[in-house]
Amino acid sequence: QSALTQPASVSGSPGQSITISCTGTSSDVGGYNLVSWYQQHPGKAPKLMIYEVSNRPSGASNRFSGSKSGNTASLTISGLQAEDEADYYCCSYAGSSTVVFGGGTKLTVL
Amino acid sequence: QVQLQQWGAGLLKPSETLSLTCAVYGGSFSGYYWSWIRQPPGKGLEWIGEINHSGSANYNPSLKSRVTISIDTPNNQFSLRLSSVTAADTAVYYCARDSAATEYWGQGTLVTVSS
């Protein structure tokens, strides 16, 4: 069970859109529609932003959207705002009742 | 509103056993899996395992030999024990509801392993 692969960092200017990728295998990301995304500000617990690939929980901004193609899931943030600067983690069901996280991506709002 | 409150020892010596407990307030306790997730300082999240109200537990294969998650359903609590800790187990440990779509988290407990 290996960690999912995310870019270490991404950046964008206010108002722009950015996309963070999350690459796994057919045994996790590609095999199930059970990918979630979390936002984490320093010193805080993670916050669920997307679940089951593309669903938003109540309380998550509609500027956040998720998708999946093959073994790669993606999180897109549109209309970037300063408050979006944070670490982002993907997570996938990995079969056999286990879960695996990505290594995390640091988003910088320029 | 669902709230998770966790507690346990924050400083351990190598080879000791980590022990944390999480209490759940509000919402249904029986209808969900309850999980533990950790985050070493400056690093990413790692799923440790989960348990449901009937005591059925699932563990991260890389930690399975050292981890026990237990549940106290009458008191809406669940616990984590991690044996034979080393410096590599130093992390913030979170309790949470569910594993694949974790909407509710505890406040986190920093556990430091140092001689």
What residues of chain A score a pLDDT lower than 70? none
Chain A interface, best mutation among B102, B104, B105, B110, by max A CB count within 10 A: B102
Cα of B15 to nearest chain A Cα, Å: 25
| B8: CB partners within 8 A, 6+ apart | B18, B19, B20, B21, B80, B93, B109, B111
- Give every residue of chain B whose pLDDT is below 50, as ranges: none
Which residues in chain A have their CB less than 8 angstroms from residue B100's CB? 34, 36, 51, 91-93, 99
Q: Give per-residue pLDDT as tens, B33-45.
A: 999 999 999 999 9
Give the side-chain half-sphere CA count within 13 A for B55: 3
Residue of chain A whose Cα is closest to the Cα of B108: A45
**Tell me, what's the pLDDT at B31?**
86
Half-sphere exposure of B28 (CA within 13 A, CB side): 7
Cβ–Cβ < 8 Å for B94, B111: no
Q: Do B61 and A98 touch (CB under 8 A)?
A: yes
Q: Cα-flanking dihedrals φ and ψ of residue B3, to 5°? A: -130, 140
Inter-chain CB proximity B101 and A51 less than 8 Å: yes
Cross-strand pairs, B47: B37
What residues 64-103 of chain A have any CB closer than 8 A to a CB of chain B?
89, 91-93, 96-103
pLDDT of residue A65: 98
